[in-house]
Amino acid sequence: MAKIFSEIASRTAHWMGQPSAFIGATAACIIWAVSGPIFNYSDTWQLVINTATTVLTFLAVFLIQNSQNRDGAAIQAKLDELLRAVGKARTQFIGIEHLSDQQIELIRAALEKQAAKLKGKQKSAEDTVDRLLDRF
Q: Residues 13, 7: contact at Cβ < 8 Å?
A: no
Residue 90 has pLDDT above 90, yes or no: no
Instruction: Give the predicted TM-score (pTM) of the model.
Output: 0.64
Q: Residues 89, 83: contact at Cβ < 8 Å?
A: yes
Q: How far apart are CA 93 and CA 27, in angstroms?
A: 48
Q: Residues 129, 117: contact at Cβ < 8 Å?
A: no
Q: What is the DSSP letter of 89?
A: S
Q: How far apart are CA 94 and CA 107, in angstroms?
A: 13
Which span out of 20-34, 101-115, 117-131 was modeled with the highest average pLDDT? 20-34
